Chains A and B, each alone.
Chain A
Amino acid sequence: MGEQLDPFSASNLPDFISSQKIGRPVNFEGQTNRGHPFSGLKKRGQSSRSWVKIDQDGNSAVLELDKATIMKRCSLPSRDLRLLDPLFIYPSSILGRERAIVVSLEKIRCIITAEEVILMNARDASVVQYQSELCKRLQSNHNLNVKDDLPFEFKALELVLELSCLSLDAQVNELEMEVYPVLDELATNISTLNLEHVRRLKGRLLTLTQKVQKVCDEIEHLMDDDDDMAEMYLTEKKERAEAHASEELEDNIGEDFESSGIVSKSAPVSPVGSTSGNFGKLQRAFSSIVGSHKSLLSSSSIGENIDQLEMLLEAYFVVVDNTLSKLSSLKEYIDDTEDLINIKLGNVQNQLIQFQLLLTAATFVAAIFAAVTAVFGMNLQDSVFQNPTTFQYVLLITGIGCGFLYFGFVLYFKHKKVFPL
């Protein structure tokens, strides 16, 4: 929704506010109204925003940078930075660009480059946790000199994935622990309050399922595309660019370097272009044997490193897929409970109709008795009324007849097996 509208256009502001009011809860609506004037002020004043920078040695610093500086520093277009804007709720995404990885997962929004992580500063517990944990891991790796075989950007990415999976899994567990008691209470006492509880929990379950599904799809989408994965190797791309620059210096052709630099700044270079350009230049500089050797080495290296990132993503894809499977089981449990409650209600409804049937039979028998007494209440002259003992005979015969008729009905109903009791 936010991507289609241009939020900073003045003519679209009323439509944007009204569209926000329709589908959002009250709390978020208040936040939107409060935050929007600040956004306008920021747009006009080009004010700075607070970021946390974490470098490779685990040192963190708080920076105040404006949008243009961030765009220049990380070579990102403006629409990628909009993904990190806390005013808009974007779905989870992991984008690999030329010199940076833009990550927006759950509450952690950051830009990962080959040397540093630029983290959107917020007072949220997840962001603080990510910051301290990343600093701790980088410092421990630096001190112990443990060779984890992962570049810096993948260590940062792994921690984002780990915290996101932990957060989603905790939310699912919390929802599970709420659902089971509420469903048991609904099974014992079907009331409006319990039904409302289950309806709200199903709404929360659906929302959480969509979030987990989005993260799952994002990781799966990354794993299915080798080019997207290859583009995320920022350290290797940086080393390749440095080797390229040194070769250019050796060749002393400044014009080609300037042209290549301009192209590199304007658009992200795909690995195919980089490989072919590199190969062409190498063909001119060196002999054919060394050239083919290096090309084979480069090809082998790319294949291996894609496996490295694929292993990382696959581990967390399994975790998120397990969370999604848990939510699916929970939804199936709710549906099973509803089915059995329907059977129970049907059973109770049958019992109600049984009692109604018995009452109708009693009403029928009483109506017969009333008809007989009304017949003898008519003001017609007959010899029957001259005999005093006829009164007792009429009452006795009618009473016994009605009793036998009712008993006959009950026996007939039992015979037809409509009374399981």
Chain B
Amino acid sequence: MQTRKTDSLSVLWRSFRLATWLGWQIESNWADPFLFAVYSLIKPLSSAAILVIMYSVITQADFESPIFPYIYLGNAFYMYVGHVMTGISWAVIDDREHYKTMKYIYTAPVHFPSYLLGRGVARFIIASISVLVTITFGVLFLKISIDPSQVNWGFFLLTLLTGVAMLALMGLTLAGVMLLLVHHMFGVGEAVAGALYLFSGAIFPLEVLPAYLRPIGFLMPITYWLELLRRLLVGKVASSFPTLQSFSNLQLYLILVTLTLLFAMLSFFVFRLCEKRAKELGLIDTVTNY
């Protein structure tokens, strides 16, 4: 006799758990473990090296300036944006076009948003390795001054995870949009991550932007998240830029949580709306081989 758990909570959990397992198999199994480990180290270091070289040329190697840790850490944590947000939405493309399994996943008793969020976990783990490697490299070789005894690690972890949850929810919105796109969906994730890079204060303070563009940055929870992560790691150096100077760490966190909650509601609403529309248009399992 078969035993099946069908209550909604267990469906939600198993969708997330299995998608996490699947995502990890996909992300980690494309190469042998040694090659995968080398790739995981080299990729973030290469991206950091490009930034450092550009900075060095422009500032005549002024690594003492507070703008350097601002840029370096902002860029390091921004890796989460690309990995988590586009990772979740990429699952739609992967299942539809690459593995052609979308219709079987969708018609299974799966909680679809949980499934997509689960598919992003592997990318989160890979991003975490990249961020850790990049920051360690910065501390060891580029004079990024982080005093572990001064860091409130509990608050840092809480902020980090809140931000990752916020990015996952933004990824879910993007996944909903992907369901509606057919031919031009491959570049959407990267385009959105690229656009947010400009407006989130990742590599320069918002004052650098024209005044009419700044409100976009202030509406983005990523802006507050990056600022808080920088402050928690390097303290006053990060808060020496005027953009968010008037806010305390706690205030920044509360803004982050409020915006995350708003994005959560918006994400589920937009996702369900897109899913409904995709079903009406017959796009859920469309394979274009584009």
A in complex with B: no
Binding site for A on B (CB under 8 A): none
